[in-house]
């Protein structure tokens, strides 16, 4: 979380205190079987997938982060990176550069006076550049197209899906007010970027 | 790794970074030894977990006792082009690669899938049949694709079969594709209590200065 965010929370808490005082199979045997119906073989033509991402770079935020691969949590939400300095790429989805929405998430918040990778994600503006380096050493360039804020439990269809047939990279982090009980911030900040 | 008739199955090598996770660049080799008195087919199930979903593969091998017969082996790998469909009804393309890890060329090779109907069944004239003899040899790799639309999270099983020396080898490939939009990630770190306290103290100080200066002005 940025110092501004912490300060905001501190200000709110402080003001409050001050006025009052503050997510089979069996029978596998080798055996004789009858012949199957003869059909024509289907030639194998599979479009090669893009390489997997290994590093995210956002020069305007001084971010140069390793990419962890994540999937779903037990409650069917996208998982988050284990290391606060890294970002998490949603592996079951699209790869950066493929036609679809590649999703990356990063932590927000300061603990033990150490920042997290997406503390300043809110500072990105339309037109800023975002780069993804893949496992083959190729750098893919994206440009920020819009920034949106969602409730923490909002329908995320527009984040995870698109229908324009283009390659997108969407970056997600938290912001808003910390809910100690839910152990979650109230909002999700999503930066939408398109392949340049 | 679980075998139906041979134990213990011991990991020999492959975990290069010793993290007990089968990484993309790793091939783990296990070994199991047993004594056979009659012809026997042994089956092993390998299971792994990632992203909260299990992956399973099953392999079987026959050893013929008392006759000079070399049993066949076959192997199929199936990979979907996407592991998650955000909305029901989306298309998934599965690719299948069938190989022969044994020494006997396989005839009557077939490929099927229980939930994708675009596969040929018995295969004739595959482009990967280099010497055009309709036998899957150990040097060949026959590949296929099958496309289907999924309305819900689906685990399907591809089956490859081939025959040699009067015996049929069979292998299965299982893949799961998740259908549905995930929830947004909870990537927030709880604020430091001491940092919040410091902000409160700072705010209190500023507030006190403002109040004091206003009082000063009133007194003047």
**Segment A141-167 mean pLDDT:** 92
Residue A19 Cα, gap to closest chain B Cα (Å):
10
CA gap B86, A21 in Å, rounded? 49
* Residue numbers in A near B108 (CB within 8 A): 35-36
Closest chain A CA to residue B177: A92
The answer to whether residues A179 and A142 touch, using CB atoms and an 8 Å cutoff, is no
Closest chain A CA to residue B49: A71
Q: What is the mean pLDDT of chain A?
A: 80
Q: How many CB atoms lie within 10 A of CB B170?
A: 21
> What pLDDT does residue A170 have?
98
Cβ within 8 Å, pair A30-B186: no
The answer to whether residues B89 and B151 touch, using CB atoms and an 8 Å cutoff, is yes
Please tell me which of the candidates A30, A41, A90 has its beta carbon nearest to residue B170: A30
Please tell me which of the candidates B128, B186, B192 has its beta carbon nearest to residue A174: B186
The answer to whether residues A176 and A108 touch, using CB atoms and an 8 Å cutoff, is no
In eight-state DSSP terms, residue B66 is S
To test the contact with chain A by mutation, choose from B141, B178, B183 the residue with the greatest count of A C-beta atoms within 10 A, namely B183
Closest chain A CA to residue B25: A135
- Check the CA dihedral A95-A73-B19-A115 and report its sign: positive
CA gap A193, B37 in Å, rounded? 65
- Is the peptide bond prior to A158 cis by the omega test (within 30 degrees of 0)? no
The answer to whether residues B169 and A30 touch, using CB atoms and an 8 Å cutoff, is yes
* Residue numbers in A near B187 (CB within 8 A): 80-81, 88, 105-108, 118, 172-174
Cβ within 8 Å, pair B204-A14: yes
Please tell me which of the candidates B120, B182, B200 has its beta carbon nearest to residue A13: B200
What's the N-to-C CA distance of chain B in angstroms? 86
Closest chain A CA to residue B107: A35
pLDDT in tens, A58-116: 999 999 999 999 988 888 899 999 999 999 999 888 899 998 899 999 999 988 888 99
Please tell me which of the candidates B51, B119, B184 has its beta carbon nearest to residue A71: B51
Beta-sheet strands, E only, within chain B: 2-3, 10-13, 29-31, 40-50, 53-63, 75-80, 84-85, 90-99, 107-113, 121-124, 141-150, 154-164, 167-179
pLDDT in tens, B147-161: 999 998 898 999 999
* Residue numbers in B near A109 (CB within 8 A): 188-191
> What pLDDT does residue A36 have?
31
* Residue numbers in B near A155 (CB within 8 A): 181
The values of phi and psi at residue A16, to 5°, are -65, -45
Cβ within 8 Å, pair B122-A39: yes
CA gap B72, B64 in Å, rounded? 11
State whether ipTM is beyond 0.90.
no
Q: With a cut of 50, say whether residue A42 has pLDDT above it.
A: no
List residues bridging with A114 in a β-sheet.
A111
Q: With a cut of 80, say whether residue A15 has pLDDT above it.
A: no
CA gap B134, A57 in Å, rounded? 51
CA gap B180, A102 in Å, rounded? 16
> What pLDDT does residue B195 have?
60
Cβ within 8 Å, pair B191-A178: yes
Tokens matching residue A136: 């083959």
- Check the CA dihedral B9-B67-B159-B133 and report its sign: positive
Closest chain B CA to residue A84: B189
Q: With a cut of 50, say whether residue A41 has pLDDT above it.
A: no
Please tell me which of the candidates B58, B83, B172 has its beta carbon nearest to residue A92: B83
Closest chain B CA to residue A152: B184
Task: Evaluate if pTM is beyond 0.80.
Answer: no
* Residue numbers in A near B188 (CB within 8 A): 1, 107-109, 173-174, 178, 183-185
Cβ within 8 Å, pair A41-B60: no
What's the N-to-C CA distance of chain A in angstroms? 29
Cβ within 8 Å, pair B41-A109: no
- Please identify every stretch of chain B with a pLDDT value under 70, giving residue numbers as ranges: 51-52, 193-199, 218-220
Would you tell me which residues 162-201 of chain B have a C-beta closer than 8 angstroms to some C-beta of chain A?
163, 166-170, 172, 174, 178, 180-192, 195-196, 198-200
> What pLDDT does residue A34 have?
31
Q: Please, what's the b/e burial string for B126-163 (b: 16 or more CB within 10 A of its CB; e: otherwise)?
A: bebbeeeebbbbeebbbbbbbebebeeebbbbbbbbbb
């Amino acid at each position: 979380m940025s110092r501004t965010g912490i300060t905001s929370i501190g200000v709110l808490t402080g003001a409050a205190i001050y006025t009052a005082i503050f997510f089979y199979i069996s029978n596998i045997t080798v055996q004789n079987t009858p012949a199957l119906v003869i059909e024509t073989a289907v030639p194998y033509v599979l479009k090669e997938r893009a390489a997997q991402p290994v590093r995210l770079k956002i020069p305007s935020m001084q971010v140069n982060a390793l990419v962890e691969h994540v999937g779903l949590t037990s409650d069917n939400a996208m998982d988050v990176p284990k290391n606060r300095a890294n970002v998490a790429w949603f592996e079951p989805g699209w790869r950066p550069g493929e036609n679809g929405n590649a999703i990356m998430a990063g932590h927000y918040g300061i603990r033990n006076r150490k920042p997290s990778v997406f503390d300043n994600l809110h500072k990105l503006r339309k037109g800023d550049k975002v780069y993804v380096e893949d496992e083959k050493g190729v750098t893919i360039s994206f440009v920020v197209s819009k920034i949106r804020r969602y409730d923490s439990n909002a329908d995320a269809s527009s984040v995870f899906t698109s229908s324009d047939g283009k390659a997108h990279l969407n970056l997600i982090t938290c912001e808003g007010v910390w809910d100690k009980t839910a152990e979650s911030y109230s909002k999700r900040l999503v930066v939408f970027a398109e392949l340049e | 790794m679980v075998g139906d008739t041979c134990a213990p199955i011991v990991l020999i090598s492959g975990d290069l970074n010793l993290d007990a996770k089968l990484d993309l660049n790793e091939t783990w080799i296990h070994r199991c030894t047993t004594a056979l008195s009659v012809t026997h087919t042994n089956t092993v199930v390998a299971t792994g977990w990632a992203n909260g979903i299990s992956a399973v593969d099953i392999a079987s091998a026959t050893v013929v006792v008392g006759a000079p017969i070399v049993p066949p082996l076959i192997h199929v790998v199936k990979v979907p082009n996407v592991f998650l469909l955000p909305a029901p009804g989306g298309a998934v393309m599965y690719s299948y690669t069938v190989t022969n890890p044994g020494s006997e060329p396989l005839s009557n090779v077939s490929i099927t899938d229980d939930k994708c109907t675009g596969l040929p069944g018995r295969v004739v004239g595959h482009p990967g049949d280099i010497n055009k003899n309709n036998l899957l040899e150990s040097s060949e790799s026959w590949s296929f694709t099958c496309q289907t639309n999924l309305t819900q999270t689906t685990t399907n099983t591809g089956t490859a079969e081939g025959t040699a020396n009067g015996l049929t080898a069979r292998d299965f490939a299982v893949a799961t594709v998740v259908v549905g939009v995930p929830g947004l990630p909870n990537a927030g770190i709880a604020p430091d209590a001491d940092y919040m306290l410091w902000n409160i103290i700072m705010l209190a100080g500023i507030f006190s200065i403002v109040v004091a200066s206003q009082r000063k002005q009133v007194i003047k």
